[in-house]
Structure 1
Amino acid sequence: MQTPQNIAIVGSGLVGSLLAIYLRKAGHTVHIYDRSPDIRQIEFSGRSINLAMSNRGWKALDGVGVGDAVREIAIPMDKRAIHLVDKLNFQPYGQEGEAIYSISRGLLNRKMIDLAEAAGAEFFFEQRIWDVTLADATLHIGETERGAWEEKKYDMVFGADGAFSRIRHRMQRQSMFDYSQEFLKIGYKELNIPANADGSHKLDPNSFHIWPRGEYMLIALPNLDGSFTCTLFMPFEGDNSLEELKDMKLVEAFFAKNFPDAIDVIPKLADDFFKNPTSTLVTMKCFPWTFEDKIALIGDASHAIVPFYGQGMNAGFEDITVLNEMMQQYGDDWKTIFSEYQKSRKPNADAIAELSYRNFMEMSTKTADEKFLLQKKIEKVFSDKHPNLWIPLYSRVTFSDRPYTEALAIGDAQNAIMEEVLKMPNIDKNWDSEEVEHTILKLLQLK
């Protein structure tokens, strides 16, 4: 156990709530502030992409004994269901028994707050944090940015308040603080596939459904109640863009042409399209993530990424795993804990940001490409025969807890090998042959 500290966490989202459980288990007093109302008391906003829990997330949850409580609200997805205009393909994710897990963001957030409260954390909702004094970890709380503020002093403050963090905003005004944000020219809309009358799913419930169409795509992830949360990703402007879909008839005609098997299962398509907000996608990078032994950023507040690898939550949870390892190693030396935490996580956060950006191209374009599907088949056959020599990039990211930096570097090397393999004569017919196996073995020796 560490010497007990009075700790504030700004942000009651997934990362803030899990962090609170870890800090409570370590013996600290934990107060969590959020400017929003208690999510358990309100209807969710229709601004969600369902979460895909994978190994890194489960490791963090199991590390503090709450994994099984979350598994109760999770649905395993062991494959992609790729909806082309004229056919449906299935692509397994990993080895037998490996799956990612679909979880409703709102459902999980409510569960995590309940678990944090049960662990002894105290929540303060509808409390607006406008500033923080870095040197002594004092929060400044008030109704308005220019009105009267109340001061709350703590031993340390964690900023878990998302991509547009107020805690980071204060840190940015320091000298030598690096910061960048980049918005994709693509927005997203949440849609919904309701359950059948008997509560069953209209589509295969153990698949991550993708309708890849190049510059735009639709995805659907299953929910426990038989519904699917769907997300339409489209450019804001230009051909096949959100700006073109100006009225209900245009939306329905667009779906009938481009997603013919989806329009049949989304009965309130046009209503949902115009009722739900259009949301943006941003990659945010910064450094440093900490200030002395007083302030630390965690999760999206330090490394917001686009959602196309399903690793945003998993990466944020892994921040907590690493922070906890540093707490075990360095005891009460919070300055070293914070320094080693950011040193370990920053390169990996940058690596998963790059992988997530690239994966949009894979999901939206390559999953509809026969050459890409052939590459994946070859990789799976070789990996099954030589599991110690070849772990596919997706499995390395999703079904292991090896560093993201390692996955990025090895993935690039593997892709270079596959580019050579796909040039082999008659590869479309001979892909499962000894010649291909020996070629890959030889290329691996050259790397």
Structure 2
Amino acid sequence: MQTPKKIAVVGAGLVGSLLAIYLKRAGHQVHVYDRSPDIRNIEFSGRSINLVMSDRGWRALEQLGLDEEIRKIGIPVDKRAIHLGTDELNYQRYGNEDQAIFSLSRGILNRKMIDLAEAEGVEFVFESKIWDVSLSTATLHQGETERGEWHDLEYDIVFGADGAFSRIRHRMQRQSMFNYSQDFLKIGYKELHIPANSDGTHKLDKNSLHIWPRGEFMLMALANTNGSFTCTLFMPHEGENSFEQLKDRATLVDFFAQHFPDTKEVIPNLVEDFFKNPKSYLVTMKCFPWTHNDKVALIGDACHAIVPFYGHGMNAGFEDITILVEMMEKYGDDWEKIFKEYENSRKPNADAIAELSYRNFMEMSSKTADAKFHLQKKIEKWFSAKHPDKWKPLYSRVTFSHQPYAEALAEGDRQNEIMQEILTIDNIEEIWETEPIEHRILDLLKDKKEA
């Protein structure tokens, strides 16, 4: 058991709320500050991408006994449904028959996490603007404006869980030997909406991630428990087939009629939603170190914001917490050691999931409509079923296991090299499910291992 500390968490999002519960259960006094109003009292819509919970996120909840509470507000999703512009859908299972990710509304989940944290005794302070922190003393500086009068809030430890544009990290960036980078994609997104049927049922299969892959742009949809779907249109900000071009009603309607014809009946408020909801940006942010002595630590998006295409922003943030808690249990009151081990363990894995997330946009927007890609997935699934000890697909490594992201990325690259060689074999489309192909993959695995 640790010596009780007075701890502040800046940021009442998903990671901040869950971290607060862990810290409270460890015996600490925990205050959570957020500059926004209490999300439970406002409508949350317009700039969200539905979240997907996978094994890494579930583990963090299971250790607290909170997983069943969250399952009640989610929908299992076991496959992709690829809309190719025809009436026929192409389904791609994520894993084995019993494996699924869970679709969750960000707003509903965030409200639930705050409720659960308050029930543990965590104190939340909303509409409280934290402008700076004194790193050496873990003192927060709060005020109405950035240049107005500030009040000091003294703590033993401060956690920055305040997102990609973290104020806590902003202070750390002004220290020597602090590395920082941010990379905005040329692609942005807008939220759209598929309402429920009049009887409350879903208009599309609720247990699928629906994808309309169109190369440089795509549409996707994930189900909500109320019968609706949250849709997200991803496309370039400028240039051909971009947000820049969709300036008026007629152009927008023609664009969707051409590229997403099967959405006409399911997105009745296309024009209203498109012009009402803001265009949002996508950024990858990396930094190091994540901590300062035994006083301040960054967690979640505040130290590793990633693009959403693998669905692992929340899962990676929750996994940060499980690793931090492991270090707390291992090193007791030695917070400087806890922080060093935490950041050194997580940094390479945060970089790996950032890379995987970036790559997955290309897979979702282009490769899901490619025949060779479909064949590759079939071969991988077939071979994995015959040799589960020798081959686990990359997606399963990332989503349905706790293997470190960096190891999963390295193994995925090795497997992809093998598959690219297999796909060059003459008549592979006809002979892929045969013993010679099986033996060839086994030989290549052996060669790669020995290399």
**TM-score, normalised via structure 1 length:** 1.00
Give the paired residue count: 447
Amino acid at match of 2:69: A
Partner of 1:101: 102
Q: For each residue in 1:24-46, what CA deviation from the matched residue of structure 2 results, as whole angstroms up to 9, or x when unmatched?
A: 01000000000000000000131
Unaligned runs of 5+ in 2: none
Partner of 2:278: 277
> C-alpha separation between the residues in 1 aligned to 2:75 and 2:260?
24
Partner of 1:124: 125
Matches within 5 A, 1:224-263: 224-263=225-264
Partner of 1:201: 202
Partner of 2:174: 173
Amino acid at match of 2:223: P
> C-alpha separation between the residues in 2 aligned to 1:387 and 1:403?
19
Matches within 5 A, 1:63-212: 63-86=63-86, 87-212=88-213
Q: CA RMSD in A?
A: 0.5
**SS state at 2:2 partner:** coil
Most deviating of 251-260 and 164-173: 251-260
**SS state at 1:308 partner:** helix
> C-alpha separation between the residues in 2 aligned to 1:259 and 1:88?
13
Q: For each residue in 1:227-285, what CA deviation from the matched residue of structure 2 results, as whole angstroms up to 9, or x when unmatched?
A: 00000000000100000000111111111110011122000001000000000000000
Amino acid at match of 2:54: S
Partner of 2:370: 369
Partner of 1:54: 54
Indicate yes or no: 2:41 matched with 1:41.
yes
Query: What is the percent sequence identity of the aligned residues?
Result: 72
Partner of 2:382: 381
Indicate yes or no: 2:340 matched with 1:342.
no
**SS state at 1:135 partner:** coil
Partner of 1:9: 9
Instruction: Give, in angstroms, the shift of residue 96 of structure 1.
Output: 1.4
Partner of 1:397: 398
> C-alpha separation between the residues in 2 aligned to 1:72 and 1:8?
30
> C-alpha separation between the residues in 2 aligned to 1:433 and 1:77?
31
> C-alpha separation between the residues in 2 aligned to 1:244 and 1:322?
45
Amino acid at match of 1:21: I
**TM-score, normalised via structure 2 length:** 0.99
> C-alpha separation between the residues in 2 aligned to 1:421 and 1:347?
30
> C-alpha separation between the residues in 1 aligned to 2:371 and 2:203?
27
Partner of 1:309: 310
Matches within 5 A, 1:313-332: 313-332=314-333
> C-alpha separation between the residues in 1 aligned to 2:57 and 2:264?
33
Instruction: Give, in angstroms, the shift of residue 64 of structure 1.
Output: 1.2
Instruction: Give, in angstroms, the shift of residue 433 of structure 1.
Output: 1.1
> C-alpha separation between the residues in 2 aligned to 1:276 and 1:311?
24
Amino acid at match of 2:89: L
> C-alpha separation between the residues in 1 aligned to 2:430 and 2:275?
47
Indicate yes or no: 2:223 matched with 1:222.
yes
Partner of 2:268: 267
**SS state at 2:308 partner:** coil
> C-alpha separation between the residues in 1 aligned to 2:97 and 2:188?
35
> C-alpha separation between the residues in 1 aligned to 2:264 and 2:219?
11
Amino acid at match of 1:373: H
**SS state at 1:296 partner:** strand
Which 4+ residue blocks in structure 1 deviate beyond 3 angstroms?
none
Most deviating of 275-284 and 247-256: 247-256
Q: For each residue in 1:179-227, what CA deviation from the matched residue of structure 2 results, as whole angstroms up to 9, or x when unmatched?
A: 0000000010000000000000000010011000000000000000000
Unaligned runs of 5+ in 1: none
Most deviating of 52-61 and 248-257: 248-257
Partner of 2:355: 354
Q: For each residue in 1:48-92, what CA deviation from the matched residue of structure 2 results, as whole angstroms up to 9, or x when unmatched?
A: 000010000000011111111101001000000000012310000
Instruction: Give, in angstroms, the shift of residue 425 of structure 1.
Output: 1.1
**SS state at 2:287 partner:** strand
Partner of 2:426: 425
**SS state at 2:190 partner:** strand
Most deviating of 86-95 and 130-139: 86-95
Partner of 2:298: 297
Instruction: Give, in angstroms, the shift of residue 432 of structure 1.
Output: 1.1
Amino acid at match of 1:55: D
